[in-house]
Amino acid sequence: MSTSDVTDNTGTGAPVPPQTPLVGPADAARYDSRFSAQASATTSSAMRDLMAITEKADIISLAGGLPDTETFPRAAYEEIVSEIGTDFLAPSLQYGPTDGMGELREMIAGIMADEGARSRVDDIMITTGGQQAIDLSIRTFVDRGDSVLAEGPTYPGAVPCLTAYGADVTHVPMDDDGMRIDLLEDAYARLAREGRPPKILYTIPNFQNPAGVTMSLERRRQLVEFAHSVGLLIIEDNPYGMIRFEGEALPTLYELDDGAGWVVYLSTFSKILAPGIRVGWVAAPPQVLRKMNLGKQAADLCSSTFTQRFVTEYLKRNDYRVHVARVNDLYRARRDTMLAALDAHFPASATWTRPRGGLFLWATLPEFIDTKALQAKALERQVAFVPGEAAFLDGRGGNCMRLNYSGVPEPVITEGISRLGEVVTEFCALHEALNPGRL
């Protein structure tokens, strides 16, 4: 390497070391034999791999779960950042308590109350995004081989956590009213008979990621009643509860549990304010929270004090509900555009959900279509989605896809769905040509 390859981008004037890796592929065995069972078992979330692809090229991405950055209230955010610089700089750059800033935890209790989930401030711990709340919940309860229940499909980002900790996941099917509680009861009974009753159920009752469906009130009641009757701990993940376009908010499972302590509640500011701040939270009984606190100490000591202050100051000065209502208007229109585009461009043999909130819908194509193969073809036409398999731990979902409508403007949604529709139609035509009359 010549010295001209060595550029100084540190701003310090210090020479930058050569960029070629010092340890090559031949040395892989050195590490492979040393990786922990957990590191070896951990798989990447297909979704994150896809995001890496879609960030690079000029691609219409219906794959992400990104809020539109245009929705950020720029002036309000700028003002807060500058005020933190003048008024709170030292404490905002210092370590903070593991369970989070007291003032923000009080505000979160208020936000939960707005969502019909009354909690005590002492039962709340701030986490580094909702993702850490999932990781801490699973690591707190799951030993390798333990039975866990989750909707099928489930949140693709939870899949690597579940595999890392060795959860033996049984998926419970959903319909338009969310998780089928009758099938949940069947699955529980079967696993109990086999001597491995599930320890926890991971569920996203509101505008589920990826299916876009919402659990009905009746099913919520049935679920909590069932959990009480058999002693099943529910991990309720609720990042999308406020991203509602229509209908009345339904009570959370946490609320229906009525303090009995069978529900651990997770949420995040990622969809309400911005994901880059990485502020989420857990509400759980004290015994559970103590264990999660120890897990968090090991993971990162505390969440960013800077962004906790950012959220606190934002909430002090602004009514977050006004912002959320504006965001919901935008996403509602985008959902409608995607539904109209699907009606126009997808073949009659495809079906899809009609979300009343959240960021995603779930399309099911004819059985013979493998959406991973479809994805490769779609990428050639510069459009991306999440293949359904990413949302299952048992290899199912091969003919399904998750489509996001929040991240791109309406004309781009229409163009993306039109291109996808062409690819799906081609797959159907090829199948028909190879198997006449069997579509």
Ligand X SMILES: Cc1ncc(COP(=O)(O)O)c(C=O)c1O
Q: Which stretches of the chain bind ligand X, using CB under 6 A?
A: 65, 129-131, 134, 155, 157, 204, 209, 237, 239, 268, 270, 275, 280
Q: State phi, psi for 221 to the nearest 5 degrees.
A: -65, -45
Give least dist CB 392 to ligand X, A: 15
Query: Is the Cβ of residue 241 or residue 416 nearer to ligand X in the bound state?
Result: 241
Give how far Cα 76 sits from Cα of 82, 110, 149, Å. 10, 21, 41
The C-alpha torsion from 360 through 413 and 421 to 402, rounded to 10°, is -20
Query: Is the Cβ of residue 204 or residue 424 nearer to ligand X in the bound state?
Result: 204
Give least dist CB 51 to ligand X, A: 11
Give least dist CB 393 to ligand X, A: 15
Looking at residue 276, the DSSP 8-state letter turns out to be: G
Give least dist CB 265 to ligand X, A: 12
Q: How far apart are CA 216 and CA 248, in angstroms?
A: 11
Within 10 Å of residue 419's Cβ, how many Cβ atoms?
18
Give least dist CB 269 to ligand X, A: 7
Query: Is the Cβ of residue 80 or residue 391 nearer to ligand X in the bound state?
Result: 391
Give least dist CB 95 to ligand X, A: 21
Query: Is the Cβ of residue 52 or residue 433 nearer to ligand X in the bound state?
Result: 52
Query: Is the Cβ of residue 131 or residue 399 nearer to ligand X in the bound state?
Result: 131
Give which of 304, 392, 371 is closest to 128, Cα–Cα: 304
Give least dist CB 15 to ligand X, A: 37
Cα–Cα–Cα angle for 343, 346, 347, rounded to 5 degrees: 110
Give least dist CB 345 to ligand X, A: 26
Q: In which element (H, E) is residue 124 found?
A: strand 124-127
Q: How far apart are CA 302 and CA 279, in angstroms?
A: 11
Cα–Cα–Cα angle for 146, 149, 151, rounded to 5 degrees: 150
Longest CA span, the chain: 72
End-to-end alpha carbon distance in the chain: 58
Reading the block at residue 228, the tokens are 């009480």
Query: Is the Cβ of residue 293 or residue 406 nearer to ligand X in the bound state?
Result: 406
Give which of 184, 148, 152 is closest to 163, Cα–Cα: 148
Give which of 211, 134, 135, 131 is closest to 173, Cα–Cα: 211
Query: Is the Cβ of residue 67 or residue 423 nearer to ligand X in the bound state?
Result: 67
How would DSSP label each residue in 412-436?
HHHHHHHHHHHHHHHHHHHHHHHST
Query: Is the Cβ of residue 73 or residue 241 nearer to ligand X in the bound state?
Result: 241
Query: Is the Cβ of residue 153 or residue 239 nearer to ligand X in the bound state?
Result: 239
Give least dist CB 284 to ligand X, A: 16
